[in-house]
Amino acid sequence: MKFGFQLPNTDQAKGIGTNQINIFSKLIVQKKFGKRAGRSPLANVYGNIGLGIMNAPLANFTQNDMLLYGLAGIFRVNDRINIATEINGRASVRRNTPLGTESQSQFRIGTQIKASGLLFDSAAVFGLTRFSPKTGVTFGITYQSPVFLPVAK
């Protein structure tokens, strides 16, 4: 279970913020397939579903309840390379959606490469709804630090 919120970053008197709070809650699941001792699994599949309560930034005293969803997978090619894919988004549950809270969804597909103690990833991004960004790319670098304290025996 994941719970989160987005706090206001400024007040509306300055003209650059809404002074409103958005709230999110998700149920997250994960399943590994093809796991063998000493090796990462052949496939790692993730899913989430939840609810978001978002204030409409262009309408006073209006909010929209959103269905939040996602499905992702990491598929091992070899010990250094993975293929990663994801679909993630939000769907409005209202017929007349307030501006700023429209349904959005994205599909991502890319690679993860382990090298020099780091994990490099890159992906292509494709929008799936009318209000989603159409295309894009994303890059990242991850470093996993070692455990600081050994486990007591």
pLDDT at 25 > cutoff 80? yes
| Position 39 in a domain | yes
Residue 60's domain comprises 21-142
| Position 36 in a domain | yes
- Band (pLDDT 50/70/90 cuts) for residue 115 is very high
Q: Give SS3 for 82.
A: strand
Number of domains in the chain: 1
Give DSSP secondary structure letters for 86-133: EEEEEEE--SSPPTT---EEEEEEEEEEEETTEEEEEEEEEE-STTS-
- Band (pLDDT 50/70/90 cuts) for residue 84 is very high
| Position 15 in a domain | no
- Average pLDDT for residues 66-75, to the nearest whole number? 95
pLDDT at 40 > cutoff 70? yes
What value does the mean pLDDT of the chain take? 88
| Position 149 in a domain | no
| Position 80 in a domain | yes
pLDDT of residue 12: 66
| Position 2 in a domain | no
Residue 67 vs residue 101, higher pLDDT: 67
- For residue 82, which of 108, 44, 107, 111 has the smallest C-alpha distance? 111
| Position 151 in a domain | no
pLDDT at 147 > cutoff 80? no
Sheet holding 81-92, edge to edge: 2-6, 22-33, 43-55, 63-76, 81-92, 104-115, 118-127, 135-142
| Position 130 in a domain | yes
Give DSSP secondary structure letters for 12-80: GGGTS-----EEEEEEEEEEEES--TTS--SEEEEEEEEEEEEE-TTSTT-EEEEEEEEEEEEEESSSS
**Phi, psi angles (nearest 5°) of residue 62:** -130, 140
